[in-house]
A = this chain, B = another copy of it.
């Protein structure tokens, strides 16, 4: 017979955890003294080995209780199910890591450090699919796919350029620069998408006058004021008649 402390040492679990299992009925001590002290024996070891094993396999305590009660044989089925769950988790983590990789790569190449710009770029990476669906409800599917294909192939460079341009434009709003420089920046902004696609896009959007892209789905790093200023400059320089969104 072991006291709870001895048992904890032997199994590597904490006293608190053992008490918790005792409360939950997952592992009842073989004997409880009048003073309420818990004592365990070798049979307890067998049970707790099962518990530790299943915990390692990422079973919840509730699931473990079920396995311990059901001496039935769907254990292997249950293991298969468990594996599926873990694979889902892993795939999700892989997706997030991939996003982080892209973000880090983009960040490495820009000297810029503006959190707002940077996070809006990452947000766009994440919401790409939703953005496409949304755009397809307005613009012909084929055009949307063409644009995103192009974008996808230059995703790192596009975003790096975009970040730098956005940063300079925000600067230019605070501290005005020469017209020709400003015009050049705006032209570079539009050149992120090939000219023919921009023209085509402008063509389609002409039908909807004054269309507003969903400001949730298409974040820009610009404030409302900056954005209005930017649009006015675009019109002033007459670049492609006013198409703006990335």
Q: Which of A79-102 contact B (CB under 8 A)?
A: 79-80, 82-83, 86-87, 89-90, 93-94, 96-97, 99-101
User: Once the chains are docked, how many angstroms separate the CA of A118 from the CA of B50?
Assistant: 10
Asked whether any CB of chain B lies closer than 8 Å to the CB of A107, the reply is yes
Are A120 and B49 in contact, CB atoms less than 8 angstroms apart? Answer: yes
Could you say which residues of chain B place their CB within 8 Å of the CB of A120? 49
Asked whether any CB of chain B lies closer than 8 Å to the CB of A209, the reply is no
User: Once the chains are docked, how many angstroms separate the CA of A245 from the CA of B196?
Assistant: 76
Q: Which of A99, A100, A116, A118 has the most CB of B within 10 A?
A: A100
- Nearest Cβ in chain B — how far from A57, in angstroms? 6
Asked whether any CB of chain B lies closer than 8 Å to the CB of A123, the reply is yes
Contact of A90 among B52, B93, B215 (CB under 8 A): B93
Number of interface residues of A (CB under 8 A): 52
Are B96 and A86 in contact, CB atoms less than 8 angstroms apart? Answer: yes
**Top 10 closest A-B pairs, CB basis?**
A73-B113, A76-B107, A83-B100, A53-B123, A50-B119, A90-B93, A49-B219, A10-B216, A53-B119, A49-B123
Copies in the complex: 2
Asked whether any CB of chain B lies closer than 8 Å to the CB of A104, the reply is yes
Secondary structure type dominating chain A contacts: helix
List 12 extra interface pairs beyond A73-B113, A87-B97, CB under 8 A. Answer: A10-B216, A50-B115, A52-B123, A53-B119, A56-B126, A57-B96, A76-B104, A79-B103, A79-B104, A83-B97, A83-B100, A83-B101
Are B119 and A219 in contact, CB atoms less than 8 angstroms apart? Answer: no
Could you say which residues of chain B place their CB within 8 Å of the CB of A43? 223
- Nearest Cβ in chain B — how far from A84, in angstroms? 10
Asked whether any CB of chain B lies closer than 8 Å to the CB of A75, the reply is yes
Could you say which residues of chain B place their CB within 8 Å of the CB of A118? 75
Q: Chain A 44-81, CB within 8 Å of chain B: the 1/0 string?
A: 01100110111011100000000100010101100110
